[in-house]
Amino acid sequence: MVVPEAVLSQGALGALQCATMMGSSSRAIVCLCAILMLSSASPNSAGITSRYVRKLAASEDLPEDNAHVKAPEEYNAPQQVHIHQGDYEGTAVIVSWVTQDEPGDGKVLYGQAQGNYTTFVIGEAYSYSFYNYTSGFIHHAVISGLQFDTRYFYAIGSGNVSREFWFITPPESKLDTSYTFGVIGDLGQTFDSLSTLEHYMNSSGQSVLFVGDLSYADTYPFHNNIRWDTWSRLIEPSAAFQPWILTAGNHELDFLPEFGETIPFKPYTHRFHTPFRSSNSTSPLWYSIKRGPATIIVLSSYSAFGKYTPQYKWLLAALRRVDRNVTPWLIVLMHTPLYNSNSDHYYEGEPMRVIFEQFLVEYKVDVVFAGHVHAYERTHPVSNVQYDIVNGQCNPLVAESSPVYIVIGDGGNIEGLSAE
C-alpha cells in the first residue's frame, strides 16, 4: 500500500477517500474531510470535499429541550429510530426504536413502494433499569431476505404516530463494487457534535463506521441515562436511514459498582443490537460484516483479548474467513488506537498491539480506524511486529503491505480536543 504525503486537516469526521486500482497491489489514500470511498476507480478520481476545522475549545452539550434532542410530544410516538446491518452478507437490517409510554405496536411494515406495505416483521421489546433510571420500551426487529442495492421503505408505530423511513441495501460484495463510508468517533451530543452530524449528512456517505464513545452519558451524575435517549434522538436523522456500524468505547462501559451497576455495557447492549451471531461471534461487542467491497471487523478494546480468550479466537477465525477476491478491502474498527503520538491516552493500546498486530499484518489489513484520542492522526503503512518489549527493538517499519492506522476521535464531545 502506497500512501502519498498529504496535508492533514483536523476535521470532525473520518477524512479519507480511498481509490483502489484493481489488478495492482498499490492503493492511494488521499486526505479529505468527510468520507472513505472504496472503489475500483483510479486514484486520480479522488477529490477533496471540504477542509472543516474544529475550534480547540470544548463545546457544551445540547440542552434536553433543544429541538434536535427533545422527546416527541405525542403519546407513545416511536423515537430514537436507528438501523444496523442485520447479517454478515448485507441482506438483513436490524430496525430499533423506543416507545416511551407502553410497548405499543411492535410491527415493522416494509416494501419497495412507499406507503404500500404488504410485508411485516414483529420484533421484541423490553426495558432496562440503571440506578434511578428506567428506559422506555426498546424495540428490535430484523428484516431479512432483502435484495442487494435496493431501496426499501419501512413504517413503525400506528395511527397518528406512525412514522416512515427508508434505507438502501449495500451492493453485492465483489471486486468491481464501489461504496462510501463516513467515519466518526467520540461524537457526544454537544453543539459541535451537531455540526459534525450535519456535516456528515451533507456528504455522500452511505453508512457510518463509528469507532466508539457515543453519548457520553457517563459524564453526568449517576451516568444519567436520559442522555442516552437524547443522543439517540440526535442521530436519528441519519441513523434511521443508513446503518451506523458501531464499536463500543470506554464511555459505553457504564460500570458503576458503588451504585449496584455491575454489568458492563448494560445501556449500550440493550439499546444497540449488532449481527454478531452471523459472524460466529459470542459477543455483540466484536463482530464482522461484509458491506460492498469491504469486510469490516469490529473489535472491543475493553473486553478480554489475550491469548485463548473468546475475542482472540474469534478474530483469527474472522480473518481467515475473508475472501479478498470478493471483498478486496479489509477494515478493522476499534476504540483505543494501537498507534498514537498524542500525549492523551499514550500507550493505552499497547497491550492489544502486542497481541493483535501480528495478525493484522499477516492478513494484510488495509486500514485500522480508532477513536479515544480526540484528534486526527494518520500513519504510513507500518509494522512493529518485531518488538516484543524484551528485545527493545521499538523501530516501526514502513511496510507497503501493512495497515495504515487512523485516529479519528474528534467528533465533537464535551471533553474537547486533544491538542498535544
Question: Domain spans of the chain?
Answer: 173-408
What pLDDT score does 389 carry? 65
Residue with cell 483510479: 42
Do residues 333 and 299 touch, judged by C-beta distance below 8 A? yes
Band of pLDDT at residue 343, cut at 50, 70 and 90: confident
CATH superfamily of domain region 173-408: Metallo-dependent phosphatases (3.60.21.10)
68 is catalytic: no
Do residues 49 and 19 touch, judged by C-beta distance below 8 A? no
Do residues 11 and 389 touch, judged by C-beta distance below 8 A? no
Catalytic residue among 84, 139, 199, 345: 345
Alpha carbons within 13 A on the beta-carbon side of 273: 24
Give pLDDT tens digits for 140-196.
999 999 999 999 999 999 999 999 999 999 999 998 899 999 999 999 999 999 999
Asked if the model's pLDDT at residue 44 lies above 60, the reply is no
Torsional sign, CA 151, 152, 156, 162: positive
Band of pLDDT at residue 39, cut at 50, 70 and 90: low
